[in-house]
Chain A
Amino acid sequence: MKTFRYERPADPAAAVTLVAGTPGARYLAGGTNLVDLMKLGVETPELLVDVSRLPFGEVEETDTGGLRIGAAVRGSRLAAHLLVRERYPALSQALLSGASAQLRNAATIGGNLLQRTRCLYFQDVSKPCNKRRPGSGCPAREGAHRDLAVLGASEHCIATNTSDLAVALAALDATVHLTGPAGVRSLPLTDLYRLPGDEPERDTVLRHGELITSVELPPPPHSARSRAPLMVYRKVRDRASYAFALVSVAAVLDVRDAAVHEVRLAFGGLAARPWRAREAEQALQGRPATEEAFVEAVRTELSACRPLRENGYKLALAERLAVAVLADLAGQG
């Protein structure tokens, strides 16, 4: 590991100034991804600015009945939070399905959202990789890409985003609040992430020095019949626990009079960002909540998939998973 300076400023403004003024600086939160990548030589920061103790450790109800989650909140605490379990169960499920209990105790919400891809070549500095070294090539395309993207990829990169949390937040219409050298701004979570295009080195739209301060959720949708929010996160992986998603689905569904009143659907494991299935949502709006309608809508969304040699299985998996999740939610309503 390369040597680096370490700073723990007392307030966010000082943290932003430090990182913005040092091109090779990185924020450090739980460190569970960054320290790992530093050991691998993928990240070689000259300065780490520790933001894990900044005053972003709270989970609070907003005036509108939504929830504001501080960026430094640990995953395990958020998953166990009573308001989250009661009102946003899919968020709790997504967090609990990711990594291990030890990692969730250390990892923060901000760090989780900005975790880097697990593409093998990205993590191996002896290999070319356009994301790590722009212009060096993408060996994954011909090589090991079983876990990689089928949607929104480019000839330059087929990496996936691996955050379970981000998929649930995408379906929940979350907003990300930022502070940076040019002041504060907010973005829909789905706009935080970029597709690779010809700049695969940029995972997100964040500018150097921008700090995630919190994530905000609008009030949870409720079905007409029950007060329980109808939402679920389901993840398919190679083993029952402690593995990244092959495909995952977060869905919110409200059926009234046998028709789709409201639906929100997001996929994980398919693309460089959590994939909000807007086409499928549109196709379902107002339609009878039947399995045939779900299949048709999900197929429309997935028709844009461009699988490679080893990851074509993701299409069938994503379709069956989404249809099963929607059918279950429709049955519960």
Chain B
Amino acid sequence: MGRTAVTLEINAQSCAFDLDNRTTLLDALREHLGLTGTKKGCDHGQCGACTVLVDGMRMNSCLLLAVALDGAQIITVEGLSSDAALHPVQQAFIDHDAFQCGYCTPGQICSAIGAITEAASGWPSAVTPQERPLGPVPLTAPEIRERMSGNLCRCGAYVNIVNAVTEAAEAVGEAAR
């Protein structure tokens, strides 16, 4: 009672847990696996610091119960780079100095990856003109600001974050071509 066996695939590794049902994905990552890259800011879905990719979709890990995710594929900031190279979004954040203290950065990066995928899939945002033809949505600065609004940065690195995401979107788009 109160505990459940859960298997999650985290950064391409299968992880089996016996978890207290109350454990959020965020706490499972940080407290049970020592993956402390994903940050806890507000713990209430308000800041985005805990953003990870769940089956390819960005979500706030602080509001997800780990038991409910049994079988899901999770990617955290630790799982983004391949042996030698950083993920293009990570590289763009460094190149554009898109952080100060860095606390929001893992969440910003995972969120940006989600935003780039969503726009490439033609998903509109609140600022996408209705009359736009269907198809990939170009990530202009207003689009990026709207799509990244779920990630707060108390250091106010927003200007450089927008620049980094702009460049990363181009890099990811080129790699896909």
* Chain A residues with a Cβ under 8 A of chain B: 1, 3-6, 8, 28, 30-32, 35-36, 38-39, 48, 50, 52, 76, 79-80, 82, 85, 89, 92-93, 96-97, 99-103, 105-106, 240-242
Pairwise interchain contact A106-B59, C-beta atoms closer than 8 A: yes
Listed residue (B43, B51, B123) with the most chain A CB atoms within 10 angstroms of its CB: B123
Q: A82-B134, A102-B59 are in contact. Are A35 and B67 (CB under 8 A)?
A: no
Complex Cα distance A96/B44, Å?
Answer: 20
Contact residues of B between 127 and 171, Cβ < 8 Å to A: 130, 134, 145-147, 149-151
A39 near B134 with CB under 8 A, answer no
What residues of B have a CB within 8 angstroms of the CB of A106 in the complex?
54, 57, 59-60, 63-64
- Is the CB–CB distance between B150 and A80 below 8 Å? no
- Which chain A residues lie closer than 8 Å to B150 at the CB level? 99-103, 242
Are the C-beta atoms of A8 and B126 separated by less than 8 Å? no
Which residues of B sit under 8 angstroms from A35, Cβ to Cβ? 24, 63-65
Cβ-defined contact, B45 with A97, below 8 A: no
Contact A3-B58, Cβ < 8 Å, known A31-B68, A80-B123, A100-B150: no
Question: Within the complex, which residue of A38, A48, A76 is in contact with B123, where a contact is CB–CB below 8 Å?
Answer: A76
Please give me the 6 A-B residue pairs with the lowest Cβ-Cβ distance, nearest first: A100-B150, A241-B149, A80-B123, A96-B126, A242-B149, A3-B2
Residue pair A101, B111 in contact (C-beta under 8 Å): yes
The residue from A79, A82, A103 contacting B45, defined by CB atoms under 8 A apart: A103
CB–CB A101/B118 < 8 A: yes
- B residues in contact (CB < 8 Å) with A: 1-2, 4, 20-22, 24, 43-45, 48, 51, 54, 57-60, 63-65, 67-68, 70, 111, 114-115, 118, 121-126, 130, 134, 145-147, 149-151
Q: Which residues of chain A are within 8 angstroms of B58 by Cβ–Cβ distance?
A: 101-102, 105
Q: Are B20 and A102 in contact (CB under 8 A)?
A: no
Is the pair B124, A3 in contact by a Cβ cutoff of 8 Å? no
Instruction: Let me know if A101 and B115 touch, CB within 8 A.
Output: yes
A5 touches B1 (CB 8 A): yes
Give the complex CA separation of A82 and B132 in angstroms. Answer: 12
Whether the Cβ atoms of B68 and A80 lie closer than 8 Å is no
Contact yes or no, A6 B149, CB < 8 A: no
On whether the beta carbons of A36 and B45 are closer than 8 Å, the reply is yes
Chain B nearest CB, measured from A195 CB (Å)? 28
Give CA–CA (A225, B114) in the complex, Å: 39
